[in-house]
Amino acid sequence: MSIASALGLGGRKVRYAIVGLGDIAQEALMPGVKHTGNSEITALVSGDPVKLTKLGKKYGVKHLFGYESFAALLKTGEIDAVYLATPNWRHAEFAVPALEAGIHVLCEKPLEVSSEQAQRIADAAKRGKAKLMTAYRLHFEPATLDAIRRIRAGELGELIAFTSLFSQPLDPANHRAHHGIEAGPLFDMGPYPINAIRYLFGAEPVEVVSAVGARHAAAGLGDLDDTIAATLRMPGGKLAQFTVSYAADAVDSLIVVGTKGSIEMNPAYGFGQGLEQFRSLGGKDSHETFAATDQFGGELRYFSDCILEDRDPEPDAEEGLADLAVIEAVVAAMRSGKAEPVKVKQRTRRIDPETQLQSLRAVSAPEPVNASSPTRD
């Protein structure tokens, strides 16, 4: 039975299981569900029974499952889709069986910790004829969409360079400090500047020119590169650089510059507050703070619309694979000390700012959200 026939012609809602109940799910995604108008939570999945009981009562969810019972959940008929917010290296573990069962998946970024595992997820979506979307919430954020629109309109001229710094101190007790590079800042925070490079330039990086990691004893993170910096070569000789860090004080910024002007965003990647632009265009400086929006509600509204209307989502598996190709080239450059090619297919589909803004307009006004750094189950 299709979702449309199961739910009727009016007031259709996609039924979600939230898999992984860390802070990003609790503080951002779950509160945003009620703003969508087309989505509801019908099941929760976690390895922590205390969380399951507490959040089940809070949201009135009766279907509560441990990770080990996920296969049983897929057979209940109680869910149409999954929002997946487990640690990165457990994405394929849950996404593959869900997609093969025809259950749609909205998966947090990065899609997985290797292109091989991410491709397994993409292939499962094809086999199960299910929708798969990588959860790039900034594809549904007005300051980001405005910057893309201005660049495409030629307001900055020909783009020349991009620089970004994204840092937040990590508690040494956090699980991310104990699972190697795949849990470190490159895989956890790197998708933000890497994705920004790709959507602002509208192109794929050619190679990682250089990449280096550093460790700071004061951070207390032991055998982990807590700070990583990389330089990417873009088509036409353009350059993009980013630094991500678990040791430095919180910074969240980017600047992109062209032959006619520049846009600095600070903050650039956060949620729970309005993002800001500092523009220099045609010799005139300006500053704009964009209204805070429910980025999570916006992306969920969009994904549910794609399910209900049988449309392919824009930040799809290929989008997730493209960022992983860059991450893997950064890792290779760190290990070799040499430039490494980015092995990625050229994307023909890019963000459609107007379509994404329509999803935001359809979402009711958000309640205040804690803007602190998210963690996962």
pTM, 2 dp: 0.92
Which DSSP helix (H) or strand (E) runs through 230?
strand 227-233
Percent of the chain past pLDDT 90, that is, above it, reads 81
What is the tally of helices (H) and strands (E) in the chain? Answer: 13, 15
Q: Categorize the per-residue pLDDT at 367 as very low, low, confident or very high, splitting at 50, 70 and 90.
A: low
What's 36's DSSP letter? T
Q: Categorize the per-residue pLDDT at 143 as very low, low, confident or very high, splitting at 50, 70 and 90.
A: very high
State yes or no: pLDDT of 317 exceeds 70: yes
What's 249's DSSP letter? P
Question: What average pLDDT does range 91-112 have in this prediction?
Answer: 98
- Residues 244-277 pLDDT 10s: 999 999 999 999 999 999 999 999 999 988 999 9
Q: How many CB atoms lie within 10 A of CB 294?
A: 29
State yes or no: pLDDT of 140 exceeds 50: yes
Q: What is the reported pLDDT for 176? A: 85
Cα 224 to Cα 340: distance, rounded to the nearest angstrom: 22
Question: What average pLDDT does range 162-176 have in this prediction?
Answer: 93
- Residues 327-362 pLDDT 10s: 999 999 999 999 999 998 777 788 888 878 777 777
Cis ω before 353 (30° cut-off from 0): no
Q: What is the reported pLDDT for 13? A: 96
Q: What is the reported pLDDT for 97? A: 98
Cross-strand partners of 82: 17, 105
Burial letters 306-339, b for 16+ CB under 10 A, else e: bbbeeeebbbbbbbbbbbbbbbbbbbbbbeeeeb
State yes or no: pLDDT of 116 exceeds 80: yes
- Residues 187-213 pLDDT 10s: 999 999 999 999 999 999 999 999 999
CA 79 to chain centre: 22
State yes or no: pLDDT of 5 exceeds 50: no
Cα 101 to Cα 194: distance, rounded to the nearest angstrom: 32
358 vs 288 pLDDT, higher one:
288
Per residue, the 3-state secondary structure of 96-163, as one string, reads: HHHHHCCCEEEECCCCCCCHHHHHHHHHHHHHHCCCEEECCHHHHCHHHHHHHHHHHCCCCCCEEEEE
Question: What average pLDDT does range 211-230 have in this prediction?
Answer: 95
Cα 122 to Cα 317: distance, rounded to the nearest angstrom: 6
Average pLDDT of the chain to the nearest whole number: 92
Q: Which two tokens stand for residue 203?
A: 């192109």
Cross-strand partners of 65: 45
Give the SS3 label for residue 197.
helix
Q: What is the reported pLDDT for 4? A: 41
Question: What average pLDDT does range 48-76 have in this prediction?
Answer: 97
